[in-house]
């Protein structure tokens, strides 16, 4: 049964369009442009030696061929490097439907980067302390109605909402620039996103009860599944290495099959004051689910096994923008790099909000997990 939570009608912002849901025509459309021209060095046939030349001439010809090949390689290599460093579109651009670009600048290799994604996600050597430090702030597209934020192999991805404006995009984690973007169907309202192995991103929709899967390397749609939830809506999504964890604006955290989107379990989330409702964008970190709470300036830390709230992260320290007239520009979006789960310096994460003009890199502080001291 669909529960309409406080102010849920205003989730559509200033352009409510009711419960229009995606149909077969709601399949995501790719915006793939032409492939990048590849700079391929090709040896010229004109350097082939004639059949009746002496050894000295033949040797000279070989030297010439090698020299030409080296010269071609020298011109080819810098062009590739320059391509990786090409400044992307300014983050103020609303949607960039561009051809695939090379990966953004690499991040420093963290402690457990050599492990598989599943091994990184299921690492339990550390646990969160509940504290965090602010590393830096950088621009975020203030037109982006952030509904999902996720990392994959050091790359930062975002899903955005609103009918007619929903997208999946890759952001430069250094500058916030929108590197690539794919528009979702105008008939759906994009919601939470999680990125799994092989860069497969699962993206929820608000009321269409459809999840879309994209390959973030090619920015192409891969598949589409129906999903169920307690409220009938899709809000947040996280990935623990095995299953997806879904929020729907209710007080439930639902574990769903990553391939079929079929529900596995549903857990009531509760704290010292009772049930915690309006759970939104989510992230899996060191055995916990971190979830934004709609219209609140904090993130709750949830034990996914029991639903118990372990604590909250007060995000007012990063700077919450003044609430706009429509009130929609709330905190929503946390992405953490599982390759840093084993770092002694804490877990590298990014947080932002809907239509915020800033994104913040933070470090969630950790400590060695106490033996037998956790239920996770
Ligand atoms: Ca997330």
Instruction: Give residue 299 CA to ligand 1 midpoint distance, Å.
Output: 11
Q: What is the pLDDT of residue 74?
A: 39
| Across 59-70, average pLDDT | 55
pLDDT band at 370 (very low <50, low <70, confident <90, very high): confident
Q: What is the pLDDT of residue 113?
A: 75
Whether 375 maps to a domain, the answer reads: no
Q: What is the pLDDT of residue 371?
A: 72
Whether 245 maps to a domain, the answer reads: yes
Instruction: Give residue 241 CA to ligand 1 midpoint distance, Å.
Output: 14
User: How many Å apart are CA 286 and CA 119, to the nearest integer?
Assistant: 11
Q: Which ranges in 153-200 belong to alpha helices (H)?
A: none
Q: Is 327 left (phi over 0), alpha (psi -120 to 50) or beta?
A: left
236, 279 in Cβ contact below 8 A? yes
Q: What is the pLDDT of residue 112?
A: 76
Whether 28 maps to a domain, the answer reads: no
Q: What is the pLDDT of residue 57?
A: 55
User: How many Å apart are CA 337 and CA 120, to the nearest integer?
Assistant: 9
Residues 59 and 151 in one domain: no
Residues 355 and 296 in one domain: yes
pLDDT band at 182 (very low <50, low <70, confident <90, very high): very high
| Across 101-114, average pLDDT | 54
| Across 351-373, average pLDDT | 92
User: How many Å apart are CA 304 and CA 12, to the nearest integer?
Assistant: 29
Which of the 8 DSSP states describes residue 175? T
Q: What is the pLDDT of residue 59?
A: 57
Maximal CA-CA distance, the chain: 93
Whether 373 maps to a domain, the answer reads: no
Residues 50 and 150 in one domain: no
Instruction: Give residue 153 CA to ligand 1 midpoint distance, Å.
Output: 14
Q: What is the pLDDT of residue 238?
A: 98
158 vs 72: which has the higher pLDDT: 158
10 vs 174: which has the higher pLDDT: 174
Please determine, for residue 30, whether its predicted confidence score (pLDDT) is greater than 50.
Answer: no
Instruction: Give residue 126 CA to ligand 1 midpoint distance, Å.
Output: 20
Tally Cβ neighbours within 10 Å of residue 118: 15
Residues 107 and 79 in one domain: no
Closest listed residue to residue 287, CA positions, set 344, 230, 245: 245
Residue that terminates a domain, selected from 36, 61, 84? 84
pTM: 0.73
Identify the weakest region by mean pLDDT among 126-135, 148-157, 164-173, 319-328: 319-328
| Residues spanned by the domain of 70 | 45-84
Residues 60 and 147 in one domain: no
Whether 7 maps to a domain, the answer reads: no
Residues 190 and 124 in one domain: yes
Instruction: Give residue 282 CA to ligand 1 midpoint distance, Å.
Output: 5
Instruction: Give residue 323 CA to ligand 1 midpoint distance, Å.
Output: 22
Identify the weakest region by mean pLDDT among 112-121, 147-156, 216-225: 112-121
Instruction: Give residue 26 CA to ligand 1 midpoint distance, Å.
Output: 24
Residues 225 and 257 in one domain: yes
Residues 173 and 258 in one domain: yes
Q: How many domains does one find in the chain?
A: 2
Q: What is the pLDDT of residue 68?
A: 52
| Across 116-124, average pLDDT | 97
Residue that terminates a domain, selected from 19, 54, 84? 84
Instruction: Give residue 148 CA to ligand 1 midpoint distance, Å.
Output: 5
Please determine, for residue 32, whether its predicted confidence score (pLDDT) is greater than 90.
Answer: no
| Across 308-317, average pLDDT | 98
Please determine, for residue 220, whether its predicted confidence score (pLDDT) is greater than 80.
Answer: yes
- Rounded to the nearest 5 degrees, what angle is found at the Cα of 249, between the Cα atoms of 128 and 225? 95
pLDDT tens track for 256-301: 999 999 999 999 999 999 999 999 999 999 999 999 999 999 999 9
User: How many Å apart are CA 101 and CA 356, to the nearest integer?
Assistant: 25
Residue that terminates a domain, selected from 58, 84, 110? 84
CATH number of the domain to which 296 belongs? 2.40.128.630
Residues 65 and 157 in one domain: no
Residues 6+ apart with CB under 8 A from 1: 231, 232
pLDDT tens track for 122-144: 999 999 999 999 999 999 999 99
| Across 304-320, average pLDDT | 97
Beta-sheet strands, E only, within 184-330: 190-196, 200-205, 210-215, 220-226, 236-239, 244-247, 252-256, 263-268, 270-271, 274-275, 279-285, 288-293, 298-302, 309-314
Whether 59 maps to a domain, the answer reads: yes
Residues 291 and 348 in one domain: yes
Whether 3 maps to a domain, the answer reads: no
Instruction: Give residue 79 CA to ligand 1 midpoint distance, Å.
Output: 35
Closest listed residue to residue 344, CA positions, set 159, 127, 82, 180: 127
Instruction: Kindly report the average pLDDT of the chain as a whole number.
Output: 79
Q: What is the pLDDT of residue 31?
A: 29
pLDDT band at 145 (very low <50, low <70, confident <90, very high): very high
Residues 226 and 287 in one domain: yes
Instruction: Give residue 80 CA to ligand 1 midpoint distance, Å.
Output: 32
Q: What is the pLDDT of residue 346?
A: 97
Identify the weakest region by mean pLDDT among 69-78, 145-154, 243-252: 69-78
Residues 100 and 79 in one domain: no
Please determine, for residue 73, whether its predicted confidence score (pLDDT) is greater than 70.
Answer: no
Instruction: Return residues with CB closer than 5 A to ligand 1 (ion).
Output: 149-150, 283, 335
Q: What is the pLDDT of residue 65?
A: 57
Whether 218 maps to a domain, the answer reads: yes
């Amino acid at each position: 049964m669909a529960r309409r939570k406080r102010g849920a009608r205003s989730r559509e912002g200033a352009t409510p369009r009711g419960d229009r849901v995606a149909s077969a025509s709601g399949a995501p459309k790719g915006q793939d442009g032409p492939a990048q021209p590849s700079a391929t060095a090709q040896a010229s046939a004109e350097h082939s030696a004639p059949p009746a030349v002496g050894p000295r001439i033949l040797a000279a010809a070989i030297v010439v061929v090698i020299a030409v090949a080296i010269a071609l390689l020298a011109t080819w290599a810098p062009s590739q490097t320059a391509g990786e460093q090409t400044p992307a579109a300014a983050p103020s651009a609303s949607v960039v439907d561009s051809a695939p670009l090379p990966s953004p600048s690499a991040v420093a290799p963290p402690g457990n980067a050599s492990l598989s994604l599943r091994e990184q996600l299921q690492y339990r050597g550390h646990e969160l302390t509940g504290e965090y430090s602010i590393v830096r702030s950088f621009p975020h597209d203030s037109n982006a109605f952030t509904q999902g934020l996720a990392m994959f192999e050091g790359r930062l991805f975002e899903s955005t909402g609103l009918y007619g404006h929903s997208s999946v995009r890759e952001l430069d984690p250094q500058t916030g620039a929108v590197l690539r973007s794919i528009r979702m169907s105008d008939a759906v309202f994009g919601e939470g996103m999680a990125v799994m192995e092989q860069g497969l991103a699962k993206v929820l929709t608000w009321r269409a009860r459809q999840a879309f899967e994209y390959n973030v390397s090619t920015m192409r749609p891969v598949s589409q599944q129906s999903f169920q939830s307690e409220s009938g809506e899709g809000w947040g999504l996280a990935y623990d290495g095995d299953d997806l964890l879904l929020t729907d604006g209710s007080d439930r955290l639902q574990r769903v099959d990553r391939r079929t989107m079929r529900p596995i379990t549903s857990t009531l989330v509760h704290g010292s004051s009772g049930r915690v409702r309006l759970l939104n964008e989510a992230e899996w970190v060191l055995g916990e689910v971190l979830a934004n709470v709609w219209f609140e300036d904090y993130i709750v830390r949830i034990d996914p096994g029991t639903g118990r709230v372990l604590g909250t992260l007060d995000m007012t320290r990063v700077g919450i923008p003044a609430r706009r007239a429509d009130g929609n520009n709330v905190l929503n979006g946390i992405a953490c790099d599982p390759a840093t789960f084993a770092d002694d310096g804490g877990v590298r994460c990014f947080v932002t909000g809907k239509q915020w003009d800033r994104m913040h890199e933070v470090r969630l502080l950790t400590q060695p997990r106490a033996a037998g001291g956790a239920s996770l």
